[in-house]
Structure 1
């Protein structure tokens, strides 16, 4: 009886924390621009862009082993997508990968677990996971940045997350792209020759530009410059790098009219065609967490 009483008291203590944690997590998971993205594919199918999205959103990334799991009753859970069960999780932190100010040895959070084909919860207890989160209101409480911000901590996934985070915090990390600025085009002296430069708008105001060069009888060449000066040695970004991700996932599908407003019609058309050269070379962003 003593053991049962102790377990009941522990369960009651955990449940008492649900209300405070739920109010924060629900705020981050209410319907909005990211809701569709939060209804995710399993972690095994996550692409570079998926992981980069999560890492970019999360001020805290930790590796942990799940301990206790408590299923929330409907009146406690709030709005939960069909096919999911909201659970209260207590996990033991094994490593803090990113985060200022440290982290509690044990963390508590809400998680929407995808149910299996039989409508049952997957086996979560003792699972090693990576958590993309922010701090909660109280010590030991965290808030996942998205519904799918808990993924399996396989060795390969751990190394991929660490590599992306290293790129994100580097001094020369490429900034987030917020839009396109002015485009310029200069036609060459012979047919088929020309150069286009397109300036990008960035979140922190750092200069980023695209340059596309055409020569007769040659395939168009393009490069991206991070800085005021276009380096002659600049090259396109490597697929699966942070710079590639910023461009492939941040550039709009077309060069807007505002960007070519000062150009003559032939030059504007050439700039639009050169912009499509860049998009084609970058390829699709590759997000799989939602149908975008």
Structure 2
């Protein structure tokens, strides 16, 4: 029996328990999950549809917004359908390979999402600090190339995570105390030495988030310096408004993500259901609000969206 428990190919399926301690409330919890997801889908598809249809929106800023929308809906789609199956039908089983695949896509898309936010910060920097060369520095082709670089980075950094986990022996206990295959939640199920897996996960989190936040901070440092040099109050206000939507989206994305990661790793005194709810919120809330923020704060996009809504 001991040999079976430590066999690397031991369990062929895992069981996602959902939100431990709140199983009786799963049906009620599913309501905001479903609502947030539907709003996210509607907002995302509206942005993608309007930008694709309107030739005047075929600009770097809106191409970046489409990338952001795709990563937003990609993250929530990796999680919500399976979570709803758990809440509604108690379909809790997931194969080991399916679990690792889900993990890869969640973390890879999150990494790509961060890369898009960095590129958007660079876009705002050029628009404010070097507006005369904006059209030559940031072309649609260059934005697409930067997006490809971000995608390659995400794949190269995240791919080792499931590959390293695949080599670990898993115990007979197949229960994952989560709604999805989060890295640390799966690592905790292993009977082997997980030191390297934990360290690798922590390092890529710190390096990826730290590097991206540093680049964003550098961009906004230069933006603030440029804004302070503007004497016209109207131009000053316009420059600030240019960055407002991006700042709101960053706060919506990074704040819950960092809080969730830190509490999951170091918040041992926090109840399990709080960890799980936080981990879900950072995948559900930003995709719902990001399209709304940009539609409200970007007049050009707001006018086009309003035009199509009036036609309905």
Q: Which has the larger radius of gyration?
A: 1
The one of the two structures with greater contact order (alpha-carbon pairs below 8 A, sep at least 6) is: 2
**TM-score under structure 1 length normalisation:** 0.24
Tell me which protein shows more helix as a share of its residues: 2
Query: TM-score, normalised to structure 2's length?
Result: 0.23
Q: Which has the higher strand share?
A: 1
